Structure 1
C-alpha cells in the first residue's frame, strides 16, 4: 500500500503504525478497540498529536470476492496534509490502498499477521 507503510502488532491490542499521507511520514501507536477475525477490526490512535481512528469490515460476497469497507476518521495535521486533503489526494490514496489491500486478502487465501483473537 502507498499510504500505510507498516503495521506491527506489539501485543494483543496495541499496534505501531507507519504512514505516509500527503507526502508526510507519521509514526503512531493504535489500540485495537474491537476485533472479530475475518469480520471486523476497529482502532484508535493513542499518544499522538492527532486522533486517527477507523474500522474495517469484511463481507464475503462469494467464495472468493470480498467486500471491504473502511470508515476512517483523520484530521490533517500541518499544511502538507491539509493541502493534500483539500485537493482530494488523501481520498484517492486511501481508495487505492483499500483496493490493493482487498486484492491482497483475496489472493492470499489464508490468514496472515499475529494474534487473531476477539477483542
Structure 2
C-alpha cells in the first residue's frame, strides 16, 4: 500500500472548510481531474475521474464522517483506494486540511504514478485549488452536518439524508 498525505492551511473557519468538503457536487470546480460526483445516498458517492489519460468511474462508501473533524471513504470499484480528509482548527479564522490517500501498490499504473510522484502532485494541486475556491467564496455553498459510523447514518440536527435521485436509463 502506498500512502500520500498532504496538508494545507486555509483562511476560513474549520466549519466552513468542512461544510464545503461535504458538497461533493462542487468537486469538479476545484479538484483536479474530477469530472462529476453524484451523492446518491448519505454514505455513497459515484465518481467520474480523469487521471493518467484515462477516465475512471467508481463508487465510494463514506465509512466515517464526524463534522469539523474528518471524513473517511473507501472505493468499492477500481481504482481501489481509501482515504481520509481531516480538519483541524488553527484559530477562529483558519484551519488545516489534510488529505491522505492509500493506494494499492500492486498495479502498473499505481507503481508508475507513485514512482513519478504524479499522484502526490495531483493531491497537492487539489488541496491548493480547494483553498483558492473556499477562500474566494468566503463561505460554504451548502452543508451536511450528519455523522456516519460503520455505515450507520445519523443526520445532523434539523437535516435529512440526501435524497436519492432518479437515474437515467440507457
TM-score by length of 2: 0.59
2:59 to 29, 45, 68: 29
Partner Cα distance (1:36, 1:25) in 2: 30
Give 1:112 shift.
3.6
1:66 to 95, 115, 119: 95
Within-5 A mapping of 1:54-93: 54-75=83-104, 79=108, 82-93=111-122
TM-score by length of 1: 0.80
Structure 1, gaps ≥5 residues long: none
Alignment length (residue pairs): 118
Given that 1:50 and 1:77 are in contact with CA atoms closer than 8 Å, whether structure 2 keeps it comes out as no
How big is the alpha-carbon RMSD for the aligned residues of Structure 1 and Structure 2?
Answer: 2.3
Partner Cα distance (1:24, 1:76) in 2: 18
- Tell me if 1:52 matches 2:81: yes
> 1:28-73 CA distances to partner (integer Å, 9 max, x unpaired)?
0000001112321100011x13421100001121233221011101
Given that 1:22 and 1:81 are in contact with CA atoms closer than 8 Å, whether structure 2 keeps it comes out as no
Given that 2:39 and 2:45 are in contact with CA atoms closer than 8 Å, whether structure 1 keeps it comes out as yes
1:8 to 33, 38, 50: 38
Structure 2, gaps ≥5 residues long: 1-30, 149-170
Residues 30 and 42 (structure 1), Cα distance of their counterparts in 2 relative to 1, 3 Å cut: same
Greater Rg by CA: 2
2:69 to 39, 45, 61: 39
Partner Cα distance (2:79, 2:104) in 1: 7
1:105 to 122, 134, 159: 134
Give 1:96 shift.
0.7
